[in-house]
Amino acid sequence: MARSLPRRRLAPSIALIVSQRAVLHASHSRVFFRVHFAHPVFLFFAAVVAGMINSVAGGGSFITFPALIFVGIAPIAANATNTAAVWPGTVASTVAYRKAFTPEARRLLPPLIITGVMGGVLGARILLVTPQATFMRIVPWLLLCATLLFVFSGRITGWIRGRAHLKSGQDLGDRNTPRGLFAGVLFLELFVSIYVGYFGAGVGILFLSLLALLGMEDIHAMNGMKTLLVSIVNGMALVTFIFARVIVWPQALLMLVGALAGGYGGAYFAQKMNSQHVRWLVIVIGFAMSAYFFTRR
C-alpha cells in the first residue's frame, strides 16, 4: 500500500509540472509589460505608417487608435494613449509654424486659447465618465464623422483659399470684425474643443473653418494657428488623462517614437509621393475602420 501511494500522486505531480512549464512559456512569450511579443512590433509599425501619413496628408489617427484597440486596450484608455502618442508631433509642427503668426493673429490668440483650454478639459472629463461600452458604441460614429470631414476637407480648404484671393483688406483681428460674430465663433470653438478632448480625429479642418469665418486670409498663418490650438487643446486633455491615470505609457512611448520616425521619413519622401493617392488611402482606411467597428457593435 505504501509503495502505491507515490504512483497515485504521480498524475497530479505531472500536471503541476506541465502547468508550471506553461506559465513559464507564457511569461517568456510576453516581453513588453505583459503584452504579447507581437503587439509592440504591430503598434510600432502602425505608428510609423501613421506618422508618414500625417506628414503627407493627415489622418494618422485612423490607424493608431484602432491599432490600440486591436491589441486589447480598453477603448477609453486607447483614446487617451493615442492622444499621448500623437501630441508631440503636433507640438513639433507648431514650432515649424512659429514665424507664420501675424501681429493680428497674436492679438486674438488669447481668447481662442482660453476657450480651447476650457473645451479640451471638459471633453476629456466627459470621456472619462463615459462607460466603456457606451464609448465603444460611439466609436464607429466618431470614426465615420471624422472620415467624412476628411473627405470634404479638400473642398473646405479650397473655399478658404478662394476667400483669400477674393477678399482684401480685412484680416483676422481686424477691429471691424463684429463682436457678435467673434462671440459666435468662440461658442463654436468651445464645442470643437470639447470634441478634441473627447476624440479629436479630423478636427484640423474644423479649426480652419472657424478661422475662415473670422475673415482670416493668410493660409500659412491659419495653419499655424490651427496647429497651435489643436496642440494646446490636446495638451490640456493629455494632462487630464495623466492625472486620471488612464494612459498606457509603454505603448504610448513606443508609438510616439514610431510616429516621429514615420513623420521624419514621410517628410523626406513627401515630394516623391502623390498626396492625393495618400488621401484616398486614408479615406478608404477610415471607412473600413468605421465599418469594422459598426459590425462589432
Whether 256 and 40 have beta carbons less than 8 Å apart is answered as no
Does pLDDT of 61 surpass 50? yes
pLDDT range class, residue 272, cuts 50, 70, 90 = low
Q: Which range, of 4-13, 80-89, 130-139, 245-254, averages the lowest pLDDT?
A: 4-13
- 26-40: burial string, b at 16+ Cβ within 10 Å, e else: eeeeeeeeebeeebb
Nearest to 85 by CA among 121, 49, 57, 119: 49
Confidence of residue 101 (pLDDT cuts 50, 70, 90): confident
Q: For residue 185, is pLDDT > 90?
A: no
Interatomic CA distance for residues 278 and 97, integer angstroms: 23
95-99, 124-128, 163-167: which has the minimum mean pLDDT? 163-167
Q: What is residue 30's DSSP assignment?
A: B
Average pLDDT of every residue of the chain:
78
Q: How confident is the model at residue 285 (pLDDT cuts 50, 70, 90)?
A: confident
CB 203 within 8 A of CB 196: yes
30, β-bridge pairs: 36
Q: Which contiguous run of DSSP H or E holds residue 186? A: helix 179-198
- In which band, very low, low, confident or very high, does the pLDDT at 173 lie, cut at 50, 70 and 90? very low
Examine the pLDDT at 237 and tell me if it is beyond 90: yes
The mean pLDDT value for 94-122 works out to 86
Which position has the higher pLDDT, 229 or 263? Answer: 229
What is the per-residue pLDDT for 16? 41
Give burial (CB, 10 Å; 0-12/13-18/19+) of 20.
exposed
